Structure 1
Amino acid sequence: MPHHKFQSASIKPRYSKGHISVLGINSVYPRPPWVAAWWSIAFPGFGHMFLGKYLHGFVLIIWELVVNNKSNLNMGIALSFQGRFEEAKAQLNQNWLLLYVAVFAYSIWDSYRCAVENNKSHTLSEIEDAPVAPSDVSFFDVVILDKKHPWAGLVWSALSPGLGQLYSGSTVVGTFILAWWIFVCYKAMAVRAWLYSFLGDFESMISLVDWQWFLFLPSMYVFALYQAFASVNENNILFDIEQIRYLRMRAENLGQLNAMDNNLVKILATFEHSPYVEMAIHDMEKLGIPSERIIALPLENLEPQTHVIDSIHRVDGRSILDGAMVGGTVFMVLGTIYGFIWHWGPVIWGLIGLFIGFLIGLAIELAVNKKKLKFTSSRKSEVVIQLTCPETMKDQLIAVLKKRRAGGFVIMPHTH
């Protein structure tokens, strides 16, 4: 079949756009350096995970859990914010604390630097226009680059951090986050604290919770939400980029007919970027339509607005939720700290802080962003297919378009 001419896996790029394997899906996608640096401040290792540098991230996260606990840093921070400075000094282990400073600074600096370099690499990969193999089949798993809903990833991570990452296709990352979340919740006694909070038994909850471990949870929880949402968005973008490259290469290699006789008809159809585009082309070829008579090209995106909410139908990669999640993290941490001395306790005040901080961060992003904004992205057709076929095959091709979920079609009139 003609598809064999465009086998993505046969080309090894100098600058790769992404990679798909049994371990998960990763891509070199441009990300704001300040966001990477912020996540490293919130929790060393998060900035690197945000950039897709998962091995660096895992090392720094484990380092944070060990050294922070040995130095009692979380306890010192909480007591300091409550104005109990002498108690904070007594809690801190200075030998371990001195080990903390250099790696913490390195984590912030290196995540910012890596974000800048990733952005350069993405630009070079776009210039090279190298392909990405859109699936990987092994003994252990079948990994397919497909379109998913970003908000589904966020919701699954809201129920249990790690599930959104598994939904996005990041097997190793999802497993790590899920196991890490369960371990920290166990050490912090967080599940029982959650139960006591919603039963109104605040005194039992506060006496039960381990402050040192509990203060890891706000940053972990918000990052799991954000990273799941961003990961699904980036995978959707990678799908679009790869399908656009494939369709353009296909059109260049096959060429076009210069003339059309009166026994042929032209049909124009529109599709969203999805596997159905390539499935429809394959179905038409099986019916006997020559490949040169099936022209499939992507539309250029002319909509300049930044969207507050991305969707499966439109992803621009510039999330206004960046600032909202930053605000949510800051205020959730503060709500948790002061919740240890306020009546409702750290769980409820942490959730209130998350909600308030999210709204404040979103408001700041909307105020700072100078471009015209739309609240949500709109559905659009992204690929146009032109078919040239005998009059007798018209109904069969229309049936294929309906089966493969074309957005619409029109039969072009004959012109002289």
Structure 2
Amino acid sequence: MDNYSNDNTARRYTAHVSILGTTQIHLRNPYIIAWWSVSFPGFGHLLLSKYIRGYLLLTWEVVINLKAHVNLAMIYSFQGNVPMAKEVLDTRWLLIYIPVYIFAIWDSYRTTVDLNNVYILSEREDHKINTFSIGALEMNYLDKRNPLLAALWSLFMPGLGQLYIHRIVTALVVIVWSVVFFYYSHMLEGVSLLFMGEIERATEVLNPEWLLMFPSLYGFAIVDAYMNTVENNKLYEKEQRRFLKEHYQKRTFHILKGKKRI
């Protein structure tokens, strides 16, 4: 059972602990969140714990990007072959891609600003949150974990850092897409050939369109795991302070600051 059930007695809550993960609101930089949406639509929303919207935009980005050959055009542009970049682009899909891409950036920025305001108001209300959730299949609880270890697991395999801090749904989505990217990009095959010294074959087997998905995926997995571990630790310490203050601190206890009593 939950220690504190969210019974809608508060207008706003800063966090909620469920068997699928810990969802919380905290202050974020709107420009950083918008930048992640620039890097890969959907990632900005996932950093905000806007999961459904984030998963939809993430799937949209992969499908439409491949249909429009955006990544392939980027590769030709990096090589200075602009005419070829124009030729490979499929405008039928590209014209669908552009407005959604812009929307993802704008919406993640707008939502970050709104959630920052909500966080400030919820902090003033300072309502209790549940700290423990248990069900037939899983359990979750507030605990302190190592942010560097979360980032390290994400470096080994995107999604493992999220599993470490119990972000189950995000971990599942990131791991599934990682497997898809690994398979269609032939990245691991290329790494194996590289270790055997067959550099030309390693380069030939790679699929650049799928391979270009990896920088954003790895970056997001590492940043998301690290950032949420830090924030979960802060939430744990805050709840622990509240508990100790309510159950162990005497009402007559005061902190002296100079000659003033707080």
Q: Same fold (TM over 0.5)?
A: yes
Q: Are positions 1:202 and 2:199 aligned together?
A: yes
Q: Secondary structure at the match of 1:29?
A: coil
Q: Are positions 1:24 and 2:17 aligned together?
A: no
Matched with 1:191 is 188
Aligned match for 1:225, one of 219, 222, 228: 222
How far 1:11 moved relative to its partner?
5.0
Matched with 2:61 is 64
Aligned match for 1:93, one of 67, 84, 90: 90
Q: Output aligned runs, 1:360-379, within 5 Å.
A: none
How far 1:118 moved relative to its partner?
1.1
How far 1:243 moved relative to its partner?
2.0
Q: Secondary structure at the match of 2:17?
A: strand
8 Å CA contact 1:26–1:52 kept in 2: the answer is yes
Deviations 1:366-402 (A, max 9, x none): xxxxxxxxxxxxxxxxxxxxxxxxxxxxxxxxxxxxx
The size of the alignment, in residue pairs, is 253
Matched with 2:234 is 237
Could you list the structure 1 runs, at least 4 aligned residues long, displaced by more than 6 angstroms after superposition: none
Q: Secondary structure at the match of 2:143?
A: coil
How far 1:251 moved relative to its partner?
5.7
Matched with 1:134 is 131
8 Å CA contact 1:24–1:169 kept in 2: the answer is yes
8 Å CA contact 1:11–1:130 kept in 2: the answer is no
Matched with 1:260 is none
Aligned match for 2:146, one of 145, 149, 169: 149
How far 1:62 moved relative to its partner?
0.1
How far 1:10 moved relative to its partner?
6.4
Structure-2 separation of matches of 1:123 and 1:136 = 26
Deviations 1:264-314 (A, max 9, x none): xxxxxxxxxxxxxxxxxxxxxxxxxxxxxxx8x99x9xxxxxxxxxxxxxx
Structure having the larger proportion of residues in strand? 1
Cα separation, partners in 2 of 1:85 and 1:149, compared to 1, 3 Å: same
8 Å CA contact 1:15–1:121 kept in 2: the answer is yes
8 Å CA contact 1:129–1:245 kept in 2: the answer is no
Q: Are positions 1:105 and 2:69 aligned together?
A: no
Q: Using CA pairs under 8 Å that are at least 6 residues apart, name the structure with larger relative contact order, 1 or 2.
A: 2
Matched with 1:9 is 5
Q: Mark the structure with the bigger radius of gyration.
A: 1
Cα separation, partners in 2 of 1:10 and 1:46, compared to 1, 3 Å: closer
| Root-mean-square deviation (Å) | 1.9
Deviations 1:76-134 (A, max 9, x none): 01101111111111111000000011010011111111111111111111100111111
Matched with 2:169 is 172
Deviations 1:187-239 (A, max 9, x none): 11111112222333221011111111111011111111111111111111111
Cα separation, partners in 2 of 1:10 and 1:232, compared to 1, 3 Å: closer
Gaps of 5+ in 1: 1-6, 257-294, 301-416
How far 1:154 moved relative to its partner?
0.5
TM-score (norm 2): 0.91
TM-score (norm 1): 0.58
Q: Are positions 1:124 and 2:121 aligned together?
A: yes
> Which amino acid counterpart does residue 9 of structure 1 have in structure 2?
S
Deviations 1:314-348 (A, max 9, x none): xxxxxxxxxxxxxxxxxxxxxxxxxxxxxxxxxxx
Structure-2 separation of matches of 1:11 and 1:236 = 24
Structure-2 separation of matches of 1:160 and 1:244 = 35
> Which amino acid counterpart does residue 210 of structure 2 have in structure 1?
W
> Which amino acid counterpart does residue 166 of structure 1 have in structure 2?
L
Aligned match for 1:55, one of 52, 56, 60: 52
Structure-2 separation of matches of 1:88 and 1:26 = 42
Structure-2 separation of matches of 1:53 and 1:132 = 19
Structure-2 separation of matches of 1:14 and 1:242 = 19
8 Å CA contact 1:37–1:111 kept in 2: the answer is yes
Q: Output aligned runs, 1:295-310, within 5 Å.
A: none
8 Å CA contact 1:23–1:170 kept in 2: the answer is yes
